[in-house]
Amino acid sequence: MKSPMTWRMITRVYLAAAIAMTSCFSVATTTKLTPDEAKQIAIEAYLYGYSLISVEMTRRVMTNVAKPTDKHAPMGQFANLRKYPSAKFRDVTAPNADTLYSNAFIDVSEEPWIISWPDMGERYYVWEFYDAWVPVIFAPGSRTTGQKAQTYVITGPNWRGELPDGIKEVKSPTASLWILGRTYSTGTPEDYKKVWALQDQYKLYPLSYWGKTYIPPHATVDPEIDMKTAVRDQVNALDAGRYFSWMARLMKNNPPTPEDAPIVEKMKKIGLAPGKSFDLENFEPAVAKAIRQAPATAWKQIVDYTRESGKMNNGWLVNLKVGHYGTDYMARAWLSAFGIPANAPKDAVYPVGQTDADGEPLDASKHDYVIHFKSEKDLPPVNGFWSLTMYDDEYFFVPNPLNRYTLSERNNLKKNPDGSISLYLQKQNPGAEKESNWLPAPDAKFIPMFRLYWPKEIPPSVLDGSWWPPVIEKN
């Protein structure tokens, strides 16, 4: 059957073709600009491209291995996380200890790829397919497509051809695609084995191997890629020249959307265009200096945006602008910095603790804290499951004697005599009677984050603002 084409995709293909044609000709590199004008455009360009650079840096790190491990795998292969990560994990920010990741990167510029998984029984799972700019383009799973075995073919933005009969197509607007599966596990040895049996049946292979046995090609390791430094730190370490040069190259096969036309035109004023080379030497010294200042200024804006990234109540920040961003490039950049990759809200919402009941920052070196639910009915309203994760102030797990990074219903939370439930956030163990409800905190500032998988849409619901986590109180 023929591959379907939407009007949006046709527009995008023509835009990509026009970009490719213009890159073949020599054009003026820059428009005459003052240093202030150039810096402002560079700041906007930096924010616009932050997700693209972050995804590519993540891809480079996570695929730079000769064969699959539990956290890394070559291009076109799954890295199936077999156990929850430890506090040493630094590949992505805000990792979780609720679902086991199945992570893969593919390139659909040359041909489509097939993905399939088995019947999932009653186990909760969700897949997210992210394009190179990090929006979710497809989210199959328990909520959307159900528990039965499924197979899809992922086609690239410029692909034309025939597909096997009966197979469902997912059209990617970019050549690079990040696939992340999340499969729920209680974390016990017995349950790990059940999840492993499912993961071993997750399949990924090129369309040309449909009906054939696929053996992945030999992969090589690039010794120049930094495998130790956190991805975000590597992105932030890029100077303006390297950042924008890389961004221009990536935009050739991962084209901007039609909605991005205004900023694409603006970026041309500083010589930044898809598929073209970018060189700061083409600028007057004062203008080049101004552009070099853009990354530091833009990063400060990303950090400062935290409180604006969602709605605040009870000291908790809830961001529902996740997964689909349109032209809100700041929201996309912020998510790429502090929560990449995240589910769309209907699959998961992540309330982030910002302050305590007195409006003060959370700091376990100064105080112990408690979150108090009046009853079981007041616990997070979800169809899937909920958890509360402890992070340090950089969104990484906190080392602790229990190796406990989350609290959830699987912890057999103890009730108080009146039926209420208290969760303790502090650095010291609160004692045997309260240990089951203790989420260890660092001797420093910290960030607690709820995960509400498949939140209920009928009130009370986090999706419409009729439910919020209780205020965090000093204990």
Mean pLDDT computed over 60-72: 96
- Decide if 414 contacts 434 (C-beta within 8 A): yes
Could you give the CA distance from residue 204 to residue 113 in angstroms, rounded to a whole number? 7
pLDDT in tens, 329-338: 999 999 999 8
**3 state DSSP class of 333:** helix
Please report, rounded to a whole number, the percentage of residues in the chain having pLDDT higher than 70.
93
Cα separations (Å) of 126 from 35, 172, 344, 384, 447? 47, 18, 11, 10, 25
Single-letter code of the amino acid located at 346: K
- Identify which of 441, 461, 460, 457 has the alpha carbon closest to the alpha carbon of residue 449: 441
Amino acid 3: pLDDT: 38
Q: Is 182's pLDDT higher than 80? A: yes
Would you give the distance in Å from CA 281 to the centre of its chain?
34
Q: Are strands 348-349 and 472-474 parallel, antiparallel or unpaired?
A: unpaired
Q: Is 27's pLDDT higher than 60? A: no
- Decide if 134 contacts 117 (C-beta within 8 A): no
- Decide if 151 contacts 114 (C-beta within 8 A): yes
Would you give the distance in Å from CA 473 to the centre of its chain?
30
Walk me through the domains of the chain, giving residue ranges and CATH numbers: 7-53+234-304 (no CATH), 65-209 (2.60.40.1610), 309-474 (2.60.120.600)
Could you give the CA distance from residue 442 to residue 421 in angstroms, rounded to a whole number? 23
Alpha-carbon torsion (336, 338, 340, 344), positive or negative: negative
Backbone angle region of 3, left / alpha / beta, with phi > 0 → left and psi within -120 to 50 → alpha: beta
Report DSSP letters for 19-40, one per residue. HHHHTTS---S-----HHHHHH
- Decide if 439 contacts 433 (C-beta within 8 A): no
Structure pTM?
A: 0.88
Please report, rounded to a whole number, the percentage of residues in the chain having pLDDT higher than 90.
87
Q: Is 76's pLDDT higher than 60? A: yes
Q: How confident is the model at residue 307 (pLDDT cuts 50, 70, 90)?
A: confident
Q: Is 193 exposed, middle or buried (0-12, 13-18, 19+ CB in 10 A)?
A: exposed
* Angle at 139 (CA atoms; ends 90, 174), nearest 5 degrees: 75
Q: Is 17's pLDDT higher than 60? A: no
* Angle at 214 (CA atoms; ends 210, 218), nearest 5 degrees: 140
Amino acid 11: pLDDT: 42
Could you give the CA distance from residue 144 to residue 155 in angstroms, rounded to a whole number? 21
Q: Is 24's pLDDT higher than 70? A: no
Mean pLDDT computed over 196-223: 97
Cα separations (Å) of 73 from 135, 230, 430? 22, 17, 41
Could you give the CA distance from residue 23 to residue 95 in angstroms, rounded to a whole number? 39
**3 state DSSP class of 255:** coil
Q: Is 235's pLDDT higher than 80? A: yes
Q: How many residues does the chain have?
A: 475
Could you give the CA distance from residue 221 to residue 65 in angstroms, rounded to a whole number? 5
Amino acid 31: pLDDT: 63
Query: Encoding tokens for residue 436?
Result: 């089951």
Which of 17 and 175 is assigned the larger pLDDT?
A: 175
Would you give the distance in Å from CA 221 to the centre of its chain?
24
Single-letter code of the amino acid located at 375: S
- Identify which of 379, 386, 394, 380 has the alpha carbon closest to the alpha carbon of residue 447: 394
Q: Is 22's pLDDT higher than 90? A: no
- Decide if 422 contacts 433 (C-beta within 8 A): no
**3 state DSSP class of 326:** coil
Which of 308 and 275 is assigned the larger pLDDT?
A: 275
Q: Is 28's pLDDT higher than 90? A: no
If you average pLDDT over every residue of the chain, what do you get? 92
Q: Is 340's pLDDT higher than 90? A: no
Query: Encoding tokens for residue 471?
Result: 């205020």
* DSSP type of residue 43: H
Q: How confident is the model at residue 30 (pLDDT cuts 50, 70, 90)?
A: low
Mean pLDDT computed over 201-222: 97
Could you give the CA distance from residue 343 to residue 125 in angstroms, rounded to a whole number? 12
Mean pLDDT computed over 43-68: 97
Strand partners for 314: none
Amino acid 8: pLDDT: 41
Mean pLDDT computed over 237-264: 97
Mean pLDDT computed over 345-374: 97
Mean pLDDT computed over 191-199: 98
Mean pLDDT computed over 70-99: 91
Tell me which residue has tokens 């080379």. 277
pLDDT in tens, 385-440: 999 999 999 999 999 999 999 999 899 999 999 999 999 999 999 999 999 999 99
Could you give the CA distance from residue 282 to residue 29 in angstroms, rounded to a whole number? 7
Tell me which residue has tokens 């064969």. 67
Amino acid 14: pLDDT: 40
Tell me which residue has tokens 């908790």. 316
* Angle at 320 (CA atoms; ends 139, 378), nearest 5 degrees: 100
Please measure the distance between the N-terminal and C-terminal CA atoms of the chain and give it in whole angstroms: 64
